[in-house]
Amino acid sequence: MNENNNRFSSGSPLVDGGFKAVTTFVFDIDGVLTDSTVLLLENGLQARQMNVKDGLALQMAIKAGYRVIIISGGTSEPVINRLQYLGIEEIHLGLKDKLKFFEGIILQYRLEWNEVLYMGDDLPDIPVLEKAGLSACPADAVQEVKNISKYISHLTGGKGCVRDVIEKVLKLNGHWTYVPEIASR
């Protein structure tokens, strides 16, 4: 356990900690699904790096019936293509007010706050992290985010932190089952 009794890290024993109630995953992109690096290419594109293990876990969550939603303040056509390739349908980019959008998702799907895991890494994520039932962040999130997150992954952004939280939820609910039609992408 961390010094705050409401938080725990991935080094803790596998305890529920709110993971079992999760039906919906909401992830930020830069710093969560990517390692925060932006490679500036000569053609003007800004390339990002994603982890195939995160991709497999996202597919497994969708296949098991979990809702996966991506929200970000940034925009990138290649990122959209990659996420759609993984089977994610709810991709919302260019958001100026993540909290307002997040509250709309809660109403739209008639969710309880405790059903939603939100993973973010930087200051724009704080309003959403404060409202989410299970707030999570990568190991390399900014300190302000770590201070309010209920779960801090031992893995960094773009290096498996998404798989870490998905795997916990699916295992606690008996849904961590690989099926052959899901490929590591």
What are the Cα distances from residue 104, in Å, to 92, 99, 111, 129, 180?
A: 12, 9, 10, 15, 35
Residue found under tokens 């098991």: 64
For residue 40, is it within any domain?
yes
For residue 42, is it within any domain?
yes
Interatomic CA distance for residues 133 and 11, integer angstroms: 21
Kindly state the average pLDDT of the residues 39-51: 79
Per-residue pLDDT tens over the stretch 117-175? 999 999 999 999 999 999 999 999 999 999 999 999 999 999 999 999 999 999 999 99
CATH of the domain at 59: 3.40.50.1000
Q: Is 157:31 a contact under the CB 8 Å cutoff?
A: yes
For residue 3, is it within any domain?
no
The model's pTM is 0.88
Q: How many Cα atoms occupy the beta-carbon half-sphere of 22 within 13 Å?
A: 35
Per-residue pLDDT tens over the stretch 62-76? 999 999 999 998 888
For residue 185, is it within any domain?
no
For residue 182, is it within any domain?
no
Q: How many domains does the chain have?
A: 1
Q: Is the dihedral of CA 140, 34, 145, 137 positive or negative?
A: negative
| Strand-pair category, 39-40 with 46-47 | antiparallel
For residue 71, is it within any domain?
yes
Q: Is 160:54 a contact under the CB 8 Å cutoff?
A: yes
Question: Cα torsion at 13, 148, 34, 115 (round to 10°)?
Answer: 70
More confident residue, 13 or 132: 132
State the burial class of residue 118 (Cβ atoms within 10 Å of its Cβ: 0-12, 13-18, 19+): buried
6 pLDDT band (50/70/90 cuts)? very low
State the burial class of residue 128 (Cβ atoms within 10 Å of its Cβ: 0-12, 13-18, 19+): buried
For residue 180, is it within any domain?
no
Q: Where are the alpha helices (DSSP H) in 24-173?
A: 52-63, 77-85, 98-108, 126-131, 143-148, 161-172
Interatomic CA distance for residues 22 and 41, integer angstroms: 38
Interatomic CA distance for residues 42 and 183, integer angstroms: 32
91: domain range?
17-172
CB count, 10 Å around CB of 78?
12
For residue 110, is it within any domain?
yes
